[in-house]
């Protein structure tokens, strides 16, 4: 049966459907690419925040270690015999623990 003027053929409908599917697919790919970029940026920002915070923690730990070293040095200088005795006692305890194995 011949097609009437102004009516669409099956091929025309198929072409329109294919064009629509291709456009939807392209839009979906663009949306996925945009989402991936946003996720990557968020992850990068999170990594930078963790790095900055870890630097702060490392600085604080370093300062505390320096302070502990200073206090220990002062105590050793103030009480050399007591410090030597404590070190000897700790060495004996560690030796006994290792000898049991």
List of E strands, 2-97: none
Distance CA 56, CA 21 (A): 52
Distance CA 41, CA 70 (A): 44
Q: Where are the domains of the chain?
A: 10-99
Give the pLDDT confidence of 42-65 residue by residue, as tens digits: 999 999 999 999 999 999 999 999
Residue 69 has pLDDT above 60, yes or no: yes
Element (H, E) at 65: helix 10-78
Residue 1 has pLDDT above 70, yes or no: no
Mean pLDDT of the chain: 91
| Residue whose token pair is 């990557």 | 40
């Amino acid at each position: 049966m011949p097609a009437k003027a102004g009516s669409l053929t099956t091929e025309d409908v198929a072409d329109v459907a294919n064009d629509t599917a291709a456009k939807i697919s392209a839009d979906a790919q663009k949306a996925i690419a945009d989402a991936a970029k946003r996720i990557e940026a968020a992850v990068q920002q999170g990594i930078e925040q963790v790095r900055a915070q870890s630097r702060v923690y490392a600085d604080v730990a370093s300062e505390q270690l320096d302070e502990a070293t200073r206090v220990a040095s002062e105590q050793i200088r103030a009480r050399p015999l007591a410090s030597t005795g404590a070190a000897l006692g700790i060495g004996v305890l560690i030796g006994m623990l290792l000898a049991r194995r």
